[in-house]
Amino acid sequence: MKVAIAILTVMALAGWSPTTRAAERVSLRNGFALRCDHHALVDGRVRLYLSAGEDNYIEFAPQQIATFEKVADPPPPPAQPVQANAMRGAKLTTADLAEMLARAGQQHNLDVDLLASVVKEESAGNARAVSRAGAEGLMQLMPGTAAQLGVHDGFQPDQNVRGGSAYLDALLTRYNDNLALALAAYNAGPDAVAKYHGIPPYHETRVYVARVIHEFNRRVVAREAQTRRPLAAAQASAANQK
């Protein structure tokens, strides 16, 4: 697994240099598809630029890419009224959410406890959560980001978790496994991290990073303690039999 504990971070993402400014649909070999503004090859990695600039991108190994297809620029997502009960949507069962996170963690080689920590901070497990800024679902994806990640319905839990996990995976790769920077970019955007050359001085972002890392550490410590219990019991039993 990529992330172990504390501010140990997860993956590595590099990229491409611009080859075209036309919008593109990118199909991955795992069946996932997303949309980007343009792409480039940089240091042997494929960099997918999510906007016309050079700062907002995600990266993949060339062998992960199946095809590129030029497409018309998508229209801006229509404003969707938020129902009064949208923030009170039904939560998934613990087992349902755990299964989704386990699948996403395995696909992206991410620690499931990291994903669970992000979901807890983002939405508290509410698949119908909507932020003041319009971010949607379990991992609070903005509609534009969700569309670029191939997520057609941000309130569909499995789609949302797959898209959010892919985005976090890409950010961890982009920031050379620096978990704090990846989380800051997840919360405030890569442009803000680039502007301030680190975690932006936003109170919300700094609190967000600290809370997710604290929760992740708590979960890892609890998991390791749970793993040690059977071993300790076996050792105690063996000692009693001597």
By annotation, the residues acting in catalysis are 122
Return d(Cα 83, Cα 126) in angstroms, integer: 15
Q: How many residues does the chain have?
A: 242
Q: Please state, as a whole number, how many other Cβ atoms lie within 10 Å of the Cβ of residue 158.
A: 17
| 183 closest CA partner among 130, 102, 121, 225 | 121
Under 8 Å between Cβ of 47 and 16? yes
Tokens standing for residue 58: 């995600």
Return d(Cα 150, Cα 164) in angstroms, integer: 11
Rounded alpha-carbon distances, angstroms, from residue 1 to 43, 102, 113, 191, 221? 25, 12, 11, 28, 15
- The angle subtended at Cα 68 by Cα 65 and Cα 69, nearest 5°, is 155
